[in-house]
Amino acid sequence: MSRASALNPFRFGVVVDGPFFTDRTTEKAELKQALNSANHIVLISPRRYGKSSLALNVARSTKRPLIYMNLQSATSVTDFANQLLKEVLKAYKFENIRRHLAGLRGSPAFETDMATGAISVYFRPIGKESTSSLEDVFTLIEKLATAKKRPIVILDEFQEAASIDAQLFKKLRSVMQMQQNINYVFIGSEESMMEQIFNSKKSPFYHFGLLMRLARIPKSDFESFVAGGLQDISKHAALIARDIVAFTESHPYYTQLLSYKCFEFLRNTDYDVDTLPLVCSSIVAEQDNNYEKLWNQLNKNQQGILVSLALGAANIQPAKNSTYYSSLKALVKKGLVVKLESYILEDPFFKLWIEKSRR
């Protein structure tokens, strides 16, 4: 196979499966074991760590009914109910659930696509917003569940339920706590909010599921994955993989992005010591406008912290009542800074952009 026609094995920014999925062997085994129990799972990590891909990959491997919804797409309780019901219809044949639909409140409407024959059901908004339709959909899922065919319900960005309706957590808990044959997987990237939802004694969802934190992929594992993907394009695959993972500090999204760009670059050019710097610089140039807009949205204290981190400051331990601490926490909340062994910039290309701006 020529380099020009080789399939790029790296994919980023979307839910991935199959050969595009970086093999998180330990996490997959842990999640699968949890799904084989009667417990619910809470999966937390910063954005773009591959939580959704992991959960969907494991859930699909069980061959059980799967219902997935990202709460970021819901604009209201009724919209939440409509989208969730649509996913239920994907998981179960309409003929098998027709009799259960008659008991739904909220005046459900039925439509048939004349071209495909597909049937859709949705709730018409009537008067004041109510959670009754949404509660009915969750109850419907329980009615469809059996001990042998327990559905898996994945609710992505679960913390967004609070922005849909302030009382939604209480309503959902009152329904879910009575259900026996469903595994819920609650995914969230707002770590502090997810902590509050599942670890605060005042929260309706206090200790409602097994807590799993998704970390960055171990460097040796990621290097092997990247090298395997690059071996058809370069005889220096292992060396390039090592440099890529070192630059991205094993961040799942940025590692996939840089690997993809390197693969494309190497289709027509042999590897040399300038390859990675050239590719990184091209990515920074592509994002220049976005990074400039982002930079201008920050105050001077926040900008100063990012500069110090980009230029190598480490082991920062600010006093909790200091302006520095509040600015650092704001950057963490924005997802611009993460704490691993120490505080670092989440986006290595933004870090490079800052470095270049200081030269």
255-287 tens-digit pLDDT: 999 999 999 999 988 899 899 999 999 999 999
Q: Do 23-213 and 288-357 have matching folds?
A: no
Q: Is 111 helix (H, G, I), strand (E, B) or coil?
A: strand
Which CATH number fits the domain 288-357, given the four candidates 1.10.10, 1.10.357, 2.40.10, 1.10.1070?
A: 1.10.10
Residue 300: left (phi > 0), alpha (psi -120 to 50), or beta?
alpha
SS3 per residue for 217-235: CCHHHHHHHHHHHHCCCCC
What is residue 99's predicted lDDT score, i.e. its pLDDT?
76
- Report d(CA 349, CA 359) in Å as an integer: 16
The pTM score is 0.84
- Report d(CA 205, CA 199) in Å as an integer: 8
What φ, ψ does residue 338 adopt, rounded to 5°? -130, 155
Helix (H) or strand (E) holding 185: strand 183-188
Give per-residue pLDDT as tens, 20-36.
666 688 899 999 999 99
Q: Where are the domains of the chain?
A: 23-213, 219-272, 288-357
β-pairing verdict for 41-44 and 210-213: parallel
Structure tokens that stand for 71 in this block: 């709460």
Domain 23-213 has CATH 1.25.40.20: no
What string of pLDDT tens digits covers the 359 residues of the chain?
567 778 899 988 777 666 666 668 889 999 999 999 999 999 998 888 889 999 999 999 999 999 999 999 999 998 999 899 989 988 988 777 777 776 677 667 777 777 776 777 777 765 566 788 899 899 999 999 998 999 999 999 999 999 999 899 999 999 999 999 999 999 998 888 999 999 999 999 999 999 999 888 889 999 999 999 999 899 999 999 999 999 999 999 999 999 999 999 999 888 998 999 999 999 999 999 999 999 999 999 999 999 999 998 666 666 677 888 899 989 988 889 988 878 899 999 999 999 999 87
Yes or no: say if 348 and 336 are a contact pair by the CB < 8 Å rule: no
What is residue 319's predicted lDDT score, i.e. its pLDDT?
66
Structure-token match 């098998």, residue found: 96
Structure tokens that stand for 175 in this block: 């329904």
